[in-house]
Structure 1
Amino acid sequence: MADPVLSLKGASLSLDGNAGRVDILHDITLDVAPGETLGLIGPSGSGKSSLLMLMGGLESATTGTITVLAQDLTKMSEDQLALFRRNNMGVVFQSFHLIPTMTALENIATPLELAGHRDAFDRAEAELEAIGLADRADHYPSQMSGGEQQRVALARASAPRPKLLLADEPTGNLDATNGNAIMDLLFGLRDRHGATLIIVTHSHELAARCDRIVRLRDGRIDTQKAAA
C-alpha cells in the first residue's frame, strides 16, 4: 500500500481567546491516501475548517504530528510552511480571496510567477480556458459573478499542479446551479492533475461524490466511511 500523502497522529488544537483557552480539536488521527477524495462534514462549530487549516499548515497543532508528503509540518517555521504550501498545495476558500486590483488572468498567473514559472501567463490562460472563462481574462473580481470568482479561485489553486488540494466550503456562497458547476470543476481538476482532494462541506451531494466521508463532532472524529 502506498504511503499516505497526509497523516495526522494525535493532533489537537487549542487557541487562546478573550474567555480563556479554547480546545478546538482533540486527538485527531487520520491518514489520507494519494489521489483520494475526502469529504469533511459535521455541524457548524465541529472543527471542520480548523482541521483543514491544520492540514495546510495554516494553524499549528498544539499536540501531535501532521505529516504531508513525508514532511513534518509541526517542525517547520512559518517561512518553511509558506514555501511548502506554494510548492505542494492549493487552497480554496469559501470567500474566494481574489486580489481585487488584479484581473482574472493576473490572479491565476501571480502564484505561478512567484513559483518561478516563466510560462506563468500561458499556463494561466490555459486554466481560464479549461474552466470556461477565457472571455473573462481581463475582468476584475468586481466585474464577475460569485460563481465566476470561485471558478477563478479554483483555477488559481490548481494552476501550479499541487499534489494536495484543500477546499473550505467551496460551494457555500453559491446558488445550486453555480454550486453544481464548481463540484464538476473540482473533480475535473482532480482527474486532470491527479491531486489528492480534501473538501470541507455542508453539501451532502458534494460529500457523496468523495471516496470517503469523515464526520466531525465537538472537535473529534465521530465517524468515517466510504461514500455510498
Structure 2
Amino acid sequence: MENLILYAPLLARGTLVTLELALASLLLATILGALGAAGKIGGGPVARNVVFGYTSLVRGIPDLVLILLVYFGGQRLLGVLGGWFGFGYIDISKFWAGVTAIGFFYGAYLTETFRGAYMTIPRGQIEAARALGLRRFVILWKVTLPQLVRFAIAGYANVWQVLIKSTAVVSVISLQDLVGLANDAGKSVREPFTFFAAVFVIYLLFTFVSQSIFNWAERRYTIKGRNDAA
C-alpha cells in the first residue's frame, strides 16, 4: 500500500492519458458512425457497399490486431513515404495510433447504432414536417436529431462502456497509459497484484460514473420525448 501511495501521481497521469484516449477515440468513432449511417441510409450503391465493407471488416478482426496493424504498419508506411520524399525517419505517435485504431473499430458499431435509431423514428413525423414546407436542415435539427439522440443513447452508452475498457490494449504499443504505467510500477516494486487491483478499481469507477451520466441523459430525453408527444 505504501508503494501504491508513492506511485499515485504516476497512476493519476496514466488515468488522464487513458481518459483522453477514450474521449478522442469516441469522438472519431462518432464521426465515422454518423458518416457510415448516412451512407447506409441515404447514400448510393457505392456508399452503401463501402460502409458494408467497413462494418464487415471490423466485425472480423480483434481490436488488438487492428492497433498493432495501425501502429507498426503506419510506422512502416511513414518510413517508406519519408524515404521517397526525403523526409527521413518519421515517428508515429502512439497516442494517435491508439485513437485511430479504437475510433475506427468502434465507428463501425456506432454506424449500426445510429442507423437503427434513425429507422426507429416514425416516418409520419418527417413526412408531416415536409408537408408543412420545412426545409431539410430544419427537419434535421428540429425533428430528426432530437429523436435520434433519444433512440441512440442506450446503444451509444454500451459502445462507450466497451470502448473505454478497450483502451487497456494500447499498452501493447508501449503507450504510457494507466495499464502501461501500472504494469511498469508493479514490476519495479514487485507488487503487480496491488497495482492491477488499483487499475481494476479505476476502471470500475470510470464505468460507474459513465453509466450514471448516461442513465441521467436517457431519463431526461425520455421525459422530454413524452412531453413533446403530449
Same fold, judged at TM 0.5 (above): no
> Counting helix residues as a fraction of each chain, which structure ranks higher?
2
Band the TM-score falls in, shorter-chain normalisation: under 0.3
Question: Which of structures 1 and 2 has the bigger CA Rg?
Answer: 2
* TM-score normalised to structure 2 length: 0.26
What TM-score does the superposition give when structure 1 sets the normalisation length?
A: 0.26
